[in-house]
Amino acid sequence: MDSDYEKLLDNVYENLPKNTTSVERFEMPKFDYFSEGNKTIVKNFKAVADKIRREPAMLSKYLSKELAVPVEIKEERLVLQRRVVGDMLNSKLEDFVKKYVVCKECNKPDTHITDEHHIRFLVCEACGAKSTIR
């Protein structure tokens, strides 16, 4: 009986996430996309923008610039006028989130952007930190 209980405990510990601090951390959203002819279509573009609480237009502009490809928002989707291979889109999304979403002080995504005299700031709603955005 006792050893069974110990085995059970072992299993519980094994199933715990290795890094317990990750519980507090932000879960990075991922684009779900596919190619169609010479285009790439991001199916969950709007959902991702909603999740990181940024204007779809701001995110699409960033991707367009970074990937040097014309883009178009079509309702929930984003259409890129080129075939994007590998995980390029998601790595750009990650860059965007690090730059424009996650607080530099506490790493939480509860932030918004303000514009003061043409200087943009990332303001954290969790810890109150304010940092300039280049």
Which residues contribute to the site for Zn ion (CB under 5 A)?
103, 105-106, 124, 126-127, 129
Shortest Å, Cβ 50 to Zn ion: 21
Beta carbon nearer to Zn ion, 28 or 106: 106
Shortest Å, Cβ 127 to Zn ion: 3
d(CA 37, CA 48): 24
Orientation of helix 88-100 relative to helix 56-67, angle to 10°: 120
Beta carbon nearer to Zn ion, 40 or 111: 111
d(CA 122, CA 53): 12
H-helix segments, the chain: 2-15, 45-51, 56-67, 88-100
Shortest Å, Cβ 109 to Zn ion: 9
Beta carbon nearer to Zn ion, 87 or 105: 105
